[in-house]
Structure 1
Amino acid sequence: MKMFASERRSKIIDLLHERKRITVKEIASQIGVSEATLRTDLNKMENDGLLTRTHGGAVINEDKENDTSFNVRQKKNKKEKIQISKRALDLIEEKQCILLDASSTALELARLLNSTSLRLTVVTSGLQTAIELKDNPDITVILIGGVVTKKSTSIEGTLGIDILDYVNIDIMFTSANGFSLENGLEDFNLYEVQIKKEIVKRASKVIALVDSSKIGKSSSAVFAKFGQIDRLITDQPIESPFLNKLDAHHIDTIITNET
């Protein structure tokens, strides 16, 4: 079966997390593609800051590895994430069906939902988010099916994506590892990107929950272009030309710390 570039690169990242250093020959034997194809992948991934090329292989970037740890991400900019989540909570109405991704920001929003009596259906790809909400009698939790890998707190791949054909998602609340001027919302986990792309297509409204440290930053792959985003909630005022592009695409912006 032919493997897409995004799938290959996710497998390469998985191998690097396990071994820290790997050769092109080792990767080829693991995932069954040509060494020439893998060299192209590794060069692209190095340009994206995911790894460093070595003679005959690659090593993982330690700072990027730390970025991908959910526990690390959960603690990073926690105050800003809570502020963003509080503003997001104001946008949720009784009896809506909302989507929360597997991000640490969406988990903060889930915690806030537990302090309300809103009757909702919550669809999620986040294991932590599902666990957070599962005992709430007012909320029906739908967990998207798929693959769970070591150290992951999210459902990966598109095996269970068909469940989205049976629900109408009023709002998708999603965070990102980067929100680049060139491409839009981007993430580092290419399996999660696959799911997010499908959800973006189906959701009536897409709201990005992105703290200011992610604005202007790129990551591995794009899951939502500017034209697919309805609203951005962030913690600090946005400068031009980023603000100009948001305005050009009629993206409403909420700033939590605006003076």
Structure 2
Amino acid sequence: MSYMDLPARHKELLNLIGQKKRIPVSELSQSLSVSEVTIRKDLNQLAQQGYLRREHGYAVLLESDDTAKHLSFNHERKSAIARRAAISVCDGETVMIESGGCCSLLAEELVKTHKHITIITNSAFIAAYIRRQNGARIILLGGEYQHDSQVMVGPMLQRCVAGLAVDKLFIGTDGCNETGFMTNDEDRAAATQAMADHAKNIIILTESEKFLRTGRIPLIAYDRLAMVYTDDQLTGDTRTEMEERGVPLILARTR
């Protein structure tokens, strides 16, 4: 079952689990004002559908590169970020969009609200996700296919982008450190960097919690960024830290 087809309580459960990664059943019961018996039944259903893992007394987020799963967590915050970022795009514009939950929702928002938008992407997931939207014009870059993340990477992709030039590239991230944003996949880092070389403005879309994480591989240095869109749950300390590093921030309203 897709995220959009889930019952409202299941969506709220996934949002709560997504925020903490591992959360007691008792806390979920209190947060949603339902019995622990009911919560356990809900969690068992979600575990069977592949959204989470059950441990004794706990629900645990499943780490996965599957973008469809990523959409299930913090969906409302991702949607708010996507809607705010979409304002920066004009009708008739051609943009590049990499992969991830926020990026997928941005692509959907653009084809719903803008006219004559062209989206260049290395994400087969995004191409499939928006394929039924009226007016969606998609250019899917070639390359080696990553099955879990459903993105194209490798030397062929680098050759595909060689002749391109766009004003904006939107990308996701796994975390950050003192010099820039990070990822956990070397091939995706190389693909993103190749796309970035052909974009005037590089823009990050990410939930506020990613500022508290790091990654294994550098993705984009702060001084190359035109803008970072995140949600309004970013802490004051983190916001000050980013501003001191010269990182331009726009916070999407979620409340």
Decide: shared fold, TM above 0.5: yes
Identity of aligned residues (%): 16
Q: What value does the CA root-mean-square deviation take over the aligned residues?
A: 2.3
Identify if the C-alpha distance between structure 1 residues 136 and 161 changes in structure 2 by more than 3 Å, giving closer, same or farther: farther
Cα offset, 1:212, TM superposition: 0.9
Cα distance in 1 for residues equivalent to 2:72 and 2:89: 25
**Residue in 2 aligned with 1:194?**
190
Is residue 124 from structure 1 mapped to residue 121 from structure 2 by the alignment?
yes
Cα distance in 1 for residues equivalent to 2:96 and 2:252: 22
Report if aligned partners of 1:206, 1:230 keep a CA contact under 8 Å in 2: yes
Match 1:165 to one of 162, 165, 173:
162
* 2:157 partner amino acid: G
Report if aligned partners of 2:192, 2:219 keep a CA contact under 8 Å in 1: yes
Moved more, 137-146 or 203-212: 137-146
User: How far does the alpha carbon of each residue in 1:4-61 deviate from its partner, in whole angstroms, 9 at most, with x for none?
Assistant: xxxxxxxxxxxxxxxxxxxxxxxxxxxxxxxxxxxxxxxxxxxxxxxxxxxxxxxxxx
Aligned partner of residue 155 in structure 2, secondary structure: coil
Report if aligned partners of 1:94, 1:119 keep a CA contact under 8 Å in 2: yes
Identify if the C-alpha distance between structure 1 residues 85 and 258 changes in structure 2 by more than 3 Å, giving closer, same or farther: closer
1:30-179 → structure 2 map (5 Å cutoff): 66-136=63-133, 138-179=135-176
Cα distance in 2 for residues equivalent to 1:86 and 1:162: 31
* 2:164 partner amino acid: V
Structure 1 residues not aligned, in runs of 5+: 1-62
Is residue 232 from structure 1 mapped to residue 224 from structure 2 by the alignment?
no
- Give the number of aligned pairs: 195
Report if aligned partners of 1:88, 1:233 keep a CA contact under 8 Å in 2: yes
Is residue 243 from structure 1 mapped to residue 243 from structure 2 by the alignment?
no
Q: What TM-score do you get using the length of structure 1 for normalisation?
A: 0.68
Cα distance in 2 for residues equivalent to 1:194 and 1:119: 29
Moved more, 203-212 or 155-164: 155-164
Match 2:209 to one of 202, 209, 213:
213
Report if aligned partners of 2:209, 2:234 keep a CA contact under 8 Å in 1: no
Aligned partner of residue 63 in structure 2, secondary structure: helix
